[in-house]
């Protein structure tokens, strides 16, 4: 598996074995990958009798409440430095220290040691050891390899969490990140007891009618521009709140835009807590990451996002304008 070929794989494995205390971090607005990968690691730590903590700045979406030890997630925006003093800080699926606890600089210097386990190509390499494998379709591939190499097996609960993480990040093996290694990882997880149909029922066939109607509202606003290469829709904060949407209720919605024939760049603007969250998807030759970076964001080549402050209407107009320019001029700076 690719992850094992990374020169830092063994170093991370040694650090996990050496430290008796792990503080595992997830990213904000947590998705299946950060949570499934982190809970699998947390469960291994528990089995090994380590002192483990799993921390996320935002709460656990209901969909993932079947993960092992799900009720033990500590939801907080920051941690007292004293709580990490003797611990290995393990960041899971976090591309930048800005996407997790607010006092990361303090925690990184206070902790006994730190590892950063991730697959984002634009990872800022903020930890002491940065095991970043951009070819992995999910951080779950790296965590699965670590658990296998650790030598204590993978439980059925861990396999279910990791399989969820894997398929939510690679779109059920549809995205171009899907590789031989993704399927190799799935094989290991199925052998360890993961049940694809049960997991799919939990994560994809589990929507409330309110959320389905919210998706419908967004879909009804679909707008094509830039000669049909760009597609966009949007949702206001009160609409999202009115549907009791939690942080993953809108996951996958943007992909509906990519189903339109000829669309190369999809954009979804959602208002959240007075801020604007932009999601971007792309097909070659366009880069979602490049476009998101124009708004201070980042992510993967074909799936990225940005947080944009300012009024909703103005932000929507500037997103459209910037996307139009980007598609017209591509990666050149000719604007
Ligand atoms: Mn991921």
Q: What is the pLDDT of residues 110-122, one digit of tens each?
A: 999 999 999 999 9
Q: What is the pTM of this model?
A: 0.89
For residue 327, the Cα-to-chain-centroid distance in whole angstroms is 26
Single residue among 203, 231, 259 that ends a domain in this structure: 203
Given this model, what pLDDT does residue 333 score? 40
Distance from Cα 112 to the centre of ligand 1, integer Å: 26
Given this model, what pLDDT does residue 313 score? 97
Sort strands 129-132 and 88-92 into parallel, antiparallel or unpaired: unpaired
Q: Name residues of the chain where pLDDT drops below 50.
A: 332-335
Distance from Cα 318 to the centre of ligand 1, integer Å: 28
Q: What is the CATH number of the domain that holds 88?
A: 3.90.1640.10
Instruction: Check whether the bond before 179 is cis (ω within 30° of 0).
Output: no
Distance from Cα 252 to the centre of ligand 1, integer Å: 14
Distance from Cα 334 to the centre of ligand 1, integer Å: 32
Distance from Cα 226 to the centre of ligand 1, integer Å: 30
Is 87 a domain residue? yes
- Is residue 246 within 8 Å of residue 212, measured between CB atoms? no
Number of structural domains found in the chain: 2
Given this model, what pLDDT does residue 335 score? 35
Domain carrying residue 23: 2-203
Q: Are 247 and 186 part of one and the same domain?
A: no
Measured at the CA of 257, the angle between CA 255 and CA 262, to 5 degrees, comes to: 120
- Is residue 58 within 8 Å of residue 186, measured between CB atoms? no
Can you tell me whether residue 278 is helix, strand or coil?
strand
Given this model, what pLDDT does residue 5 score? 84
- Is residue 115 within 8 Å of residue 127, measured between CB atoms? yes
Is 335 a domain residue? no
Single residue among 203, 223, 252 that ends a domain in this structure: 203
Beta-bridge partner residues of 304: 280, 299
For residue 257, the Cα-to-chain-centroid distance in whole angstroms is 20
Distance from Cα 167 to the centre of ligand 1, integer Å: 10
Given this model, what pLDDT does residue 331 score? 56
Given this model, what pLDDT does residue 294 score? 97
Single residue among 203, 237, 268 that ends a domain in this structure: 203
Distance from Cα 165 to the centre of ligand 1, integer Å: 8
Distance from Cα 166 to the centre of ligand 1, integer Å: 8
Q: Are 26 and 81 part of one and the same domain?
A: yes
**Phi-psi bin for 252: left (phi > 0), alpha (psi -120 to 50), beta?**
left
Can you tell me whether residue 62 is helix, strand or coil?
helix
């Amino acid at each position: 598996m690719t992850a094992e070929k990374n020169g830092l794989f063994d170093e991370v494995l040694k650090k996990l074995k050496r430290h008796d205390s792990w503080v595992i971090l997830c990213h904000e607005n947590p998705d299946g990958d950060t949570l499934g990968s982190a809970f699998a690691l947390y469960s291994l730590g528990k089995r090994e009798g380590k002192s483990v903590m799993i921390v996320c700045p935002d709460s656990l979406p209901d969909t993932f409440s079947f993960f092992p030890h799900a009720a033990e997630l500590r939801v907080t925006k920051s941690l007292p430095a004293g709580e990490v003093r003797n611990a290995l800080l393990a960041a899971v699926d976090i591309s930048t220290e800005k996407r997790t606890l607010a006092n990361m600089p303090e925690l990184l210097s206070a902790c006994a040691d730190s590892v950063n386990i991730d697959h984002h190509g634009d990872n800022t390499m903020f930890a002491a050891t940065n095991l970043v494998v951009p070819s992995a379709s999910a951080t779950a591939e790296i965590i699965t390899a670590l658990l296998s190499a650790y030598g204590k097996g993978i439980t059925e609960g861990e396999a279910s969490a990791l399989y969820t993480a894997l398929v939510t990040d690679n779109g059920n093996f549809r995205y171009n990140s899907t590789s031989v290694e993704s399927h190799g990882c799935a094989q290991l997880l199925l052998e360890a007891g993961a049940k694809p149909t049960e997991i799919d029922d939990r994560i994809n066939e589990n929507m409330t009618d309110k959320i389905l109607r919210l998706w419908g509202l967004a879909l009804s606003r679909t707008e094509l521009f830039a000669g049909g290469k760009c597609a966009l829709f949007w949702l206001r904060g009160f609409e999202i709140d009115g549907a009791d949407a939690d942080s993953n209720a809108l996951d996958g919605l943007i992909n509906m835009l990519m189903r339109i024939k000829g669309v190369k760049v999809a954009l979804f603007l959602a208002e959240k807590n007075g801020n604007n969250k932009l999601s971007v998807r792309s097909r070659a030759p366009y880069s979602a990451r490049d476009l998101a970076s124009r708004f201070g964001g980042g992510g993967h080549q074909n799936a990225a996002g940005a947080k944009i402050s300012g009024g909703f209407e103005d932000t929507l107009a500037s997103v459209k304008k910037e996307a139009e320019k980007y598609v017209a001029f591509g990666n050149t700076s000719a604007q």
